Amino acid sequence: MIEYKKATIEDLDELVTTRIEVLRAANKLDTDADMSAVEEQSSAYYAKALIDGTHTAYLVFDEGVFVGAGGVSYYSVMPTYHNPSGKKAYIMNMYTAPDHRRQGIAYKTLDLLVKDARSRGITAISLEATDMGRPLYEKYGFVKANNEMELEV
């Protein structure tokens, strides 16, 4: 039976462990790749963000075994005509174990995250889609945004 658990600070170790697992999978990293800095920073991030409400995470289990995750980070920007509150959300850390894909787990996780954002009055939700994830996000109603640019410094 699939269980969707909204994470709390008590889930800190599980969140950090799953975050590293997700990053290894998404970046195709070997198990010997040093993730200690990311692990340390992820722990600090979750410890702060779960308490101050700037992050919501879901952990997904099948009979107690981790099979998926998803998170949404909340932040503010200067208010605009289209977003007078300036509140925004960014979906991240979406993951489903390979043997549990194509069963609606990612869609349900995404739906829980979007509903959490909407309950906070958020009207602008963005994400970065992989080729594998893009069909899921399009099915949900996300559209490609062409106005943003990025500079790596």
Domain interval for residue 127 = 2-140
What is the per-residue pLDDT for 48? 97
Tell me, yes or no, whether 40 lies in a domain.
Answer: yes
Tell me, yes or no, whether 152 lies in a domain.
Answer: no
Tell me, yes or no, whether 113 lies in a domain.
Answer: yes
DSSP conformation letters of 62-104 = ETTEEEEEEEEEEEE----SS-TT-EEEEEEEEEE-GGGTTSS
Q: Which CATH number is 46's domain given?
A: 3.40.630.30
d(CA 49, CA 55): 5
Tell me, yes or no, whether 74 lies in a domain.
Answer: yes
Query: Mean of the per-residue pLDDT values for the chain?
Result: 93
Q: In what order do the strands lie in the sheet with 125-127?
A: 2-6, 55-62, 65-76, 87-96, 125-127
Tell me, yes or no, whether 118 lies in a domain.
Answer: yes
Tell me, yes or no, whether 132 lies in a domain.
Answer: yes
What is the per-residue pLDDT for 107? 97
Please give the structure tokens belonging to residue 7. Answer: 């994470």
What is the per-residue pLDDT for 92? 94
What is the per-residue pLDDT for 106? 96
Q: Which secondary-structure segment (H or E) carries 32?
A: none
**How large is the average pLDDT for residues 92-102?**
93
What is the per-residue pLDDT for 140? 95
Number of domain units in the chain: 1
Tell me, yes or no, whether 17 lies in a domain.
Answer: yes
**How large is the average pLDDT for residues 9-37?**
92
Tens of pLDDT, residue by residue over 43-52, are 999 999 999 9
Tens of pLDDT, residue by residue over 101-147, are 999 999 999 999 999 999 999 988 999 888 888 999 999 999 988 77
Tell me, yes or no, whether 148 lies in a domain.
Answer: no
